[in-house]
Chains A and B, each alone.
Chain A
Amino acid sequence: MIEVKHLLKNYGKYRAVNDISFKVETGEVLGFLGPNGAGKSTTMNMITGYISATSGEVLIDGFDILVNPKEAKKRIGYLPEIPPVYPDMSVEEYLKFVAELKGVKKAEIKPMLDDIMERIKITHVSGKLIKNLSKGYRQRVGLAQALVGYPEVLILDEPTVGLDPKQIIEIRDFIKELSKSHTIILSSHILSEVSAVCDRVMIIDRGVIVASDTPERLSESLSQNRFRARIKGDKEAILEAFENSEDFISASDSETNEENTVDLIIEGVGDRDTREDIFDTAVENGFKLLLLKSEKLSLEEVFLQVTEGAEHEKPAVMEDENTSNDENTADESTKEPVEFVIDDGQEQSGDAQDETTASPDETAVQQPETHEISETPENNEETNPEIINEKENK
């Protein structure tokens, strides 16, 4: 349905998108994930034909967006980062204009708009001027605009940004409903959204795809056979027992809230059930096992690892495909109530930072990466000049 081949975009000397290729099949929902300035919006703008690529091809249903723009654009509904609404038009007027612009037949316009406004729940504001609407409603009008003409492909650039939690859930449910009959690409830096809605996640960093897989597998591939065990007893003895055992690749100390206990993060060997090994080791040494749970990386940890990993030459996640599908872990990742904004550039970056530090448990979980996570805020600043640079070049 959507085919992107070796897409490349230069802004002067700055390369915003560097040789991206991927395919989205009919009915698939692809999530674009990446820090600010990673090239998400640029890629989307190229797919929709708003800007042209320096080199590379975009095919929508077989039509090249540059060679055959009319046919290709007919099939796309696009919600850009800022909804492209005219403040001095009423909602209905505006949607009617969009319908005419997209060449919808006159007789079909009225029922189509009624249907769309009904579904997005903006019927009651249809007579209002858009400049009098709140941000959330503008966003909805933007979404309605993308749906006009019932295109098969929807490109949504951060569809839930600026909405309140209730609206976010509504829009998310709506996108889920749409995904039954549409091919969708959506970008976001809210990871729970991506894992809740998307069939496949693509993480982009500095214009390059660093990982691409289902949300479950992404987190699994980085966290197989990792467990957290809370054990009662003398710290030194416990550490010694577990570290010397051959059943485990590694066992490391983690912070704990309970007195007289030690939290260990234990990584098991191969296909063996590491839980049994942990239990046995504890019993052999006369320790009491208080807690044993699978230690999964949440999607945001994967995200951090992957986007940071590019610098530190971490093994690429994409190659790890033959992971066994443990149902437990798969379930957990979708259940996890993550409302975690990675870096929203402006005011929210503070929040994101707070959250990383506010959850020492999670940070401590993967000790080798701890320093990287705490690096995030600085890293933002590093990328900022690039963002500014990009704007200037535009």
Chain B
Amino acid sequence: MKAIYKREIKMYFNSMIGYVFIAFFVLITAIYFSVGNILQMSPDFQNVFSSVIMMFLILAPMLTMRLLSEEKKQKTDQLLLTSPVSVPGIVLGKYFAAVTIFLIALLITVIFPVILSFFGTLATAQIIGSYVGFFLLGSAFIAVGLWISSIADNQIIAAVATFVVIFLLLMVETIISSASGNISFSLTFAGILALLVALYVYSNTKNAEVSVIVFVIEAAAILVLFFVKKSLFAGFAGKFAKMFAVLTRFNNFAAGLFDIASVVYFISFIVVFLYFTVRVIEKRRWS
């Protein structure tokens, strides 16, 4: 794991990606800082982060797109997988390397609140909270990106897919919560979920009959539930969306709350996606 971590860090700085990432991140933060804090003469640095979050759409794929997809393409995964290193070791080494680069960029931006502190009093709790939240949010997105990189065959696909998934993660609440009171929307949503489960079964078993049976059973269950207890569906989609509402979790931090539940949430989120990544690699070896 250590060897892989060291190599990835080195590669970030051997190629331009590491420098470009850090420069781009610091530049965007600096622009929001200049416009939002210096020109407006406002001490609310935490607002900068809320604006920079959208940049993850580009920044996260930049860090993760080639991590695993390139190994596959260059066949260097043969070296890694035949070396005495475990698959979780490989995944963790790569993940921590990407997180380290992100952390370096984040630490450079500490300069901005320090500058601000010379000219007035800062909301220290909110700023520290924002940093912690922002770090956890970014780490979660990097985990998602790493997972996608393990699935994709080349880095461009990985980058685009990561962009889309992060976009959905950022938007999921806005989209679904606005319509979640509507029962027919929830019903459709449950139907889509059932369909996804059936497709997943099909992709694993390649057995059309079983998948159709699974889907029929699910659909029947949903309909029965719908007629027996309608209230169950009110707000179902909203509740489901909340599981992926990473932005709400971040806002808790930005408000200066050190919310243990949110920390646990982000860490579980990361662990789950790293676990998925390990599974994807293992599965390829078994199929």
Q: B278 CB to closest chain A CB, in angstroms?
A: 14
Q: A43 CB to closest chain B CB, in angstroms?
A: 14
Contacts of B10 in A (CB 8 A): 93
B248 within 8 A of A: no
A97 within 8 A of B: yes
Complex: chain A residue closest to B6, CB-CB: A100
**CB within 8 Å of B: which A73-131 residues:** 73-74, 76, 78, 80, 82, 84-89, 93, 97-98, 100-103
Contact of B285 among A50, A93, A98, A100 (CB under 8 A): A50
> For the side of the interface on B, what is the size category?
20 to 34
Q: In whole angstroms, what is the CA distance A51 to B76 when docked?
A: 14
From A74, A85, A98, A101, residue with most partner B Cβ within 10 Å: A101
B182 within 8 A of A: no
**CB within 8 Å of B: which A38-95 residues:** 45, 48-52, 69-71, 73-74, 76, 78, 80, 82, 84-89, 93
B241 within 8 A of A: no
Residues A80 and B78 in contact in the complex (CB < 8 Å), given A73-B84, A88-B15, A103-B84: yes
Q: B69 CB to closest chain A CB, in angstroms?
A: 14
Q: In whole angstroms, what is the CA distance A103 to B84 when docked?
A: 8
A84 touches B76 (CB 8 A): yes
Q: B203 CB to closest chain A CB, in angstroms?
A: 13
A74 touches B79 (CB 8 A): no
A145 within 8 A of B: yes
B2 within 8 A of A: yes
Contacts of A394 in B (CB 8 A): 287
B76 touches A102 (CB 8 A): no
Q: A138 CB to closest chain B CB, in angstroms?
A: 11
Complex: chain B residue closest to A87, CB-CB: B74
Contact of B80 among A70, A93, A101, A103 (CB under 8 A): A101
B14 within 8 A of A: yes
Q: A307 CB to closest chain B CB, in angstroms?
A: 27
A84 touches B285 (CB 8 A): no
A48 touches B3 (CB 8 A): no
**CB within 8 Å of A: which B126-182 residues:** none
Contacts of A70 in B (CB 8 A): 84, 86
B217 within 8 A of A: no
Contact of A86 among B2, B74, B78 (CB under 8 A): B74
B4 within 8 A of A: yes
Q: In whole angstroms, what is the CA distance A73 to B80 when docked?
A: 11
Contacts of B80 in A (CB 8 A): 101
B85 within 8 A of A: yes
B75 touches A101 (CB 8 A): no
> For the side of the interface on A, what is the size category?
20 to 34
Contact of B286 among A52, A101, A102 (CB under 8 A): A52
From B14, B82, B285, B286, residue with most partner A Cβ within 10 Å: B82
B224 within 8 A of A: no
A97 touches B7 (CB 8 A): yes
Q: B263 CB to closest chain A CB, in angstroms?
A: 33
Q: In whole angstroms, what is the CA distance A85 to B3 when docked?
A: 15
B205 within 8 A of A: no
From B7, B77, B84, B85, residue with most partner A Cβ within 10 Å: B84
A101 touches B4 (CB 8 A): yes
Q: In whole angstroms, what is the CA distance A145 to B83 when docked?
A: 11
Contacts of B78 in A (CB 8 A): 45, 50, 78, 80, 82, 84
Residues A100 and B2 in contact in the complex (CB < 8 Å), given A50-B82, A69-B84: yes
Q: In whole angstroms, what is the CA distance A73 to B6 when docked?
A: 21
Contacts of B15 in A (CB 8 A): 88
B243 within 8 A of A: no
B255 within 8 A of A: no
Q: Bits for A364-394, please: 1 = Cβ < 8 Å to B, else 0.
A: 0000000000000000000000000000011
Q: A349 CB to closest chain B CB, in angstroms?
A: 23
Contacts of A78 in B (CB 8 A): 78-79, 82
B11 touches A102 (CB 8 A): no
Q: Bits for B5-19, please: 1 = Cβ < 8 Å to A, else 0.
A: 011001100110000
Contacts of B82 in A (CB 8 A): 48-50, 73, 76, 78
B81 within 8 A of A: yes
A contact residues vs B (CB 8 Å cutoff): 11, 45, 48-52, 69-71, 73-74, 76, 78, 80, 82, 84-89, 93, 97-98, 100-103, 145, 393-394
Q: List 17 A-B contacts (CB under 8 A).
A: A11-B287, A50-B81, A50-B82, A50-B285, A70-B84, A71-B84, A78-B78, A78-B79, A84-B74, A84-B75, A84-B79, A87-B74, A88-B11, A89-B11, A93-B10, A100-B6, A101-B85
Q: A101-B83, A394-B287 are in contact. List 19 more A-B contacts (CB 8 A).
A: A11-B287, A50-B81, A50-B82, A50-B285, A70-B86, A71-B84, A73-B84, A74-B84, A78-B79, A80-B78, A84-B76, A86-B76, A88-B14, A89-B14, A100-B2, A101-B3, A103-B84, A145-B79, A393-B287
Q: Which 6 A-B pairs have the closest CB atoms?
A: A100-B3, A84-B79, A73-B84, A48-B82, A84-B76, A101-B3
